[in-house]
Amino acid sequence: MGRLLLLLLALQAYRPGPQVLNFTSQVDASEQPYAIYLPNDLDATRRYPLVLSLHGDGSSHQMNLRRVFGRGTLPLLRRDFPALPGFGFIVVSPLARGSLGYQGIAEQDIYDLLEEIKRRFPVDEDRVYLTGIAMGGGGALWLGLTRPDLWAAVAPVCAIPPDDAAELAGNALNLPVRLFHGDRDPAVPVASSRGLHRRFLELQVKAEYIEYPGVRHNAWEPAYKGAAIFDWFAAHRRRRFPERVRFTARAYKYSSAYWVRLDAFDPSAPASIDARFTGRNTLAVTTSNLTGFTLHLADHPRVAAGAPLALAIDGTRLKARAAKALSFRRTAAGWRAGLAEPPPGGKRRGAEGPLSEAIAARHIYVYGTADNPAEAELERRRQDARTAAEWSTPQVRVPVSFSVKADGDVTRYDIETSNLVLFGTRETNALIARFAARFPMRLERSAADYGLVFIAPLEGGRYAVVNSGLPWWTGAGESGRAGLDRRAPPFRVLQTFPDYVLFKGSLANVLAEGRFDSRWRLTQEAAAQINAAGTVVVAPDAAR
């Protein structure tokens, strides 16, 4: 049975208009809800534009769906909402775990949902748009700036910009942006959108900014009034083959855009490339903190197949025959043709940190029983693991579900399919002992007033987080660590950590923290700083 016939049959199960559906999360296999609007004339033989709309903190997928249509005062999912004859958009608003923001697990949910929507419905992949309110506006910026080639346009409303927005702003060179903000917003200062707009314009990004005089934090009301945002979206299509790609990344998971891929770099600092056609089969490329990249030029209209390419890469002039993919690597003598890859055992996609990456995918919290602790001590250890796994607070319920296990109960399947968050030391936790040779350091068991937490790669693209001594959230309230205060301290604080942290007594007294280098090693300075505490043993090959 052909795909078109299958799609025709599948579409009969859905009614037009607003409704709530579910998809299965890859992270914890839970059923996650989303609100969706389907047009009246949904036809499997056509392709429809898709708007992905992200809700703000304290809102929901249902409320947000109404708001993006300018119908925020209507009762929940009324059947006659919205009355827009001939409206031809599919509109989706995910819950994305509520108030987590749109990175980590919530970000993975977005991409899982996007693939689900493309499977279920006839989506035009050149007309996929992003918008969002406040926290959701920041999410729209994050998704747009880290994966700009997926979207046709992005429209953040009173956005809380992600921390890296200014650094990544140039990635929107080929992505139209329209910002909205009220100049009396008491929740998200209007200066954030003004500053981001200036940054976009400095970088030649096609960014518009609409500011509403006298409007407070409800800028979505004028921005979405009469469903006008869809008219702006309809004027834009994704640019698959722009003449110029400017792209910056700090992580291998966000290392490609359009026809450019960053192959090798140090994730502890931003890597960037600016590649442009200066003529037919002629390119100029400049790079920063980059030791390898690939150009995917198949079907690019500025490339004549079979004819030679002339390239200038950071001043090095090269000739190459046009091909589907051309790779280049930096050498002592300059740039040369050839694929550059991360060194064996080095940081790469799925093995680059920081600590928050371990809990952005399927993971298990594991407490130690290897030393046969007394019942009271066993319960304390179990409770630490449970506290780390509980992301909800009395103010915010986060719909996640993670396993908490004793070290002896962790199966081979668990190890092969999940990241491991390990509490204890090699003396108390059998899994820490099992993987000890892979770990760059260890806390002495006698160091009662210290806390050490670090991330390390395991085989198969999995991570281990080791937390020895005091739990990593000890003293979170007095530490001044950033994050949304309504989220649970273990989750909130971990988002602020690099690859490792060592503290004494409380997070208010951090002795050392930082990123491992591209080979998962400490610098000599960092190793000396950690050794000075006298409570941590650094592995001989873990420092350079």
Q: Which residues, listed in sequence order, are joined to residue 93 by a DSSP beta bridge?
A: 35
Element (H, E) at 11: helix 3-11
DSSP secondary structure of 161-206: --TTHHHHGGGGGGS-EEEEEETT-SSS-HHHHHHHHHHHHHTT--
Note the pLDDT of residue 531. 93
Rounded CA-CA distance 488/472 in Å is 13
Is pTM beyond 0.85 here? yes
Neighbouring C-alpha atoms within 13 Å toward the C-beta of 482: 5
CB 461 within 8 A of CB 350: yes
CB 239 within 8 A of CB 232: no
**Cis before 540 (ω within 30):** no
Note the pLDDT of residue 74. 55
**Cis before 354 (ω within 30):** yes
Q: Which residues, listed in sequence order, are joined to residue 132 by a DSSP beta bridge?
A: 54, 156
Structure token pair of residue 387: 């506290």
Closest CA to 170 of 134, 191, 196: 196
Summarised one tens digit per residue, pLDDT across range 68-95 is 998 765 554 454 445 544 579 999 999 9
Note the pLDDT of residue 1. 47
**List of residues 6+ apart from 16 with CB closer than 8 A:** 38, 39, 40, 42
Note the pLDDT of residue 482. 59
In the block, tokens 């050794």 appear at 531
Note the pLDDT of residue 5. 47
* Regions in the chain scoring below 50 on pLDDT: 1, 5, 9, 76-77, 79-81, 84-85, 484
CB 292 within 8 A of CB 263: yes
Q: What is the CA radius of gyration of the chain?
A: 25
Grouping H, G, I as helix, E, B as strand and the rest as coil, residue 251 is coil
Q: How many residues would you count in the chain?
A: 544
CB 99 within 8 A of CB 396: yes
DSSP secondary structure of 372-419: ---HHHHHHHHHHHHHHH----SS-------EEEEGGG--HHHHHHSE
Closest CA to 277 of 255, 263, 258: 258
Note the pLDDT of residue 27. 87
Residue 230 CA, distance from chain mean position: 26
Sheet of 290-296, strand order: 256-257, 260-265, 290-296, 325-331, 334-337
Summarised one tens digit per residue, pLDDT across range 19-41 is 999 999 988 888 999 999 999 88
Note the pLDDT of residue 12. 60
DSSP secondary structure of 315-343: TEEEEEE--SEEEEEEETTEEEES---PP
